[in-house]
Amino acid sequence: MHYFFVHNEILTPGSEVALLPEDHNHAYRVLRLKAGETVTLADGKGSSALGKVSVSSQSEVKVILERELPPAKPLINITLLQAIIKGDKLDLIFRQAVELGVSRLIAVETERTVPQPDVKKAEKRLQRWNAIARSASAQCRRPYLPLVEPQVSLRNL
């Protein structure tokens, strides 16, 4: 069964919810979801619900929610402080940390950080890390989205 996140939606049975634009293409073109197929939607704050696809078209995919799923509270909250490293290795570390259940991610600039902090790139990196965390959470069927904080220097931490 496929798992998607929605934002600013109350997941109540009987309501119809449209998938986010970033999930629409995946649901319609890659997964080829058809009307009547069952999916799970989560709000990223702990609520999730089962539903059936009601509309699957090139412009939108909508789901009618059937029943709420019991909340799955994390047993502990883990924060990962990770020094910034070269290349895209940090993306893999964040993905695997989310898959393991980390609830908060912080990239840390240290004295020996090779990639120098760039204010222009910092916002793009934060968006990419949020997308990675969202994707990893959906893969693990985890109804909570981890908090990904902006990079910070070790001294300011």
pLDDT category of residue 71 using cuts at 50, 70 and 90? confident
For helices 89-100 and 119-139, angle between their N-to-C axes, nearest 10 degrees = 40
Q: What tens digit of pLDDT does each residue of 39-54 get?
A: 999 998 889 999 999 9
pLDDT category of residue 74 using cuts at 50, 70 and 90? confident
Instruction: Evaluate whether 2-69 and 79-153 have a shared fold.
Output: no
Per-position b or e across 124-144, b if 16+ CB within 10 A of its CB: ebeebbbebbbebbbeeebbb
Specify the pTM.
0.84
Domain boundaries 79-153, corresponding CATH code: 3.40.1280.10
* 148 in Cβ contact with 133 (< 8 Å): yes
Least confident stretch, 62-71, 100-109, 119-128, 130-139: 119-128
Q: What tens digit of pLDDT does each residue of 84-114 get?
A: 888 889 999 999 999 999 999 999 988 888 7
For the domain with range 2-69, which CATH number is right: 3.10.20.440, 3.40.640.10, 3.90.550.10, 2.40.240.20?
2.40.240.20
Q: What tens digit of pLDDT does each residue of 8-17 get?
A: 888 999 999 9
Q: What is the DSSP letter of 45?
A: B
Q: What tens digit of pLDDT does each residue of 17-45 get?
A: 999 998 988 999 999 999 999 999 999 88
* For range 134-140, the mean pLDDT: 93
Two tokens, residue 22: 């970033």
Single-letter code of the amino acid located at 1: M
Domain ranges of the chain: 2-69, 79-153
